[in-house]
């Protein structure tokens, strides 16, 4: 069993008081100053010192218990605040993820439209434009073209550029980043 400290200390003090001669009057509720003084005189000095030490220790433990309870309350408040902030952050993260998905979807749609446009051009003109595009965009545009159209455009590009584009077109990372609808 786990007893509260105050009860343990009170029991210890009561046990010392009962065991000592003359303490019976105190245990019966006698509160007169004379009886208390007489009772103290009957205690040995060591016993008096022990009782004073026990009382001081009890006060010290009470103060520490109050400090700990205050810290526990403050900690509980901080934990609640952290929980609220994490909920807010999760909401923001979800909103950002949704917005990123929307932007990726829009990017995929725009890349598809650009691929269609480049596919309708003469291969020489499309190759000149693809060569000037940023690498990831050029890769996405070429990957979305029909095979025959892409082959004609690649044939018009300088060999190192066509090789790099071909290698990047088979790398799934680029396609997943630009075309989220193909993963679904």
Distance CA 184, CA 179 (A): 10
**Which whole-number Å values give the CA distances from 116 to 23, 139, 181, in the listed order?**
105, 14, 17
Buried b (16+ CB within 10 A) or exposed e, 124-145: eebbeebeebeeebbbbbbbbb
pLDDT at 107 (0 to 100): 81
Angle at Cα 70 formed by Cα 66 and Cα 73, nearest 5°? Answer: 140
Distance CA 156, CA 140 (A): 18
Mean pLDDT by 10 residues, the chain (184 residues): 61 54 46 61 78 91 95 96 94 91 83 89 92 89 90 92 88 52 42
Kindly report, residue by residue over 103-136, the tens digit of the pLDDT.
888 888 888 888 899 999 999 999 999 999 988 8
pLDDT at 1 (0 to 100): 52
Distance CA 78, CA 57 (A): 31
Q: Which domains does the chain have, with CATH numbers?
A: 5-77 (no CATH), 100-182 (1.10.220)
Phi, then psi, of 145 in degrees rounded to 5? -75, 160
Smallest CA-to-CA distance from 162 within 131, 116, 122 is with: 131
| The three-state (H, E, C) secondary structure of 52-74, written as one string | HHHHHHHHHHHHHHHHHHHHHHH
Average pLDDT of every residue of the chain: 79
CB distance 141 to 130 below 8 Å = yes
- Is the pTM higher than 0.75? The answer reads no
């Amino acid at each position: 069993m786990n007893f509260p400290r105050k009860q343990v200390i009170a029991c210890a003090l009561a046990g010392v008081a009962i065991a000592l001669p003359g303490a019976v009057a105190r245990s019966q509720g006698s509160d007169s100053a004379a009886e208390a003084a007489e009772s103290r005189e009957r205690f040995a000095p060591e016993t008096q010192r022990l009782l004073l030490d026990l009382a001081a220790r009890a006060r010290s433990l009470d103060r520490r218990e109050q400090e700990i309870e205050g810290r526990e309350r403050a900690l509980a408040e901080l934990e609640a605040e952290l929980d609220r902030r994490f909920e807010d952050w999760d909401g923001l993260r979800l909103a950002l993820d949704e917005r990123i998905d929307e932007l990726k979807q829009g990017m995929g749609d725009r890349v598809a439209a650009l691929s269609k446009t480049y596919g309708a051009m003469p291969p020489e003109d499309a190759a000149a434009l693809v060569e000037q595009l940023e690498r990831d965009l050029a890769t996405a545009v070429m990957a979305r073209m029909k095979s025959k159209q892409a082959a004609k455009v690649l044939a018009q590009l300088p060999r190192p550029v066509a090789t790099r584009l071909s290698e990047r077109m088979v790398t799934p990372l680029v396609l997943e980043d630009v075309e989220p609808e193909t993963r679904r």
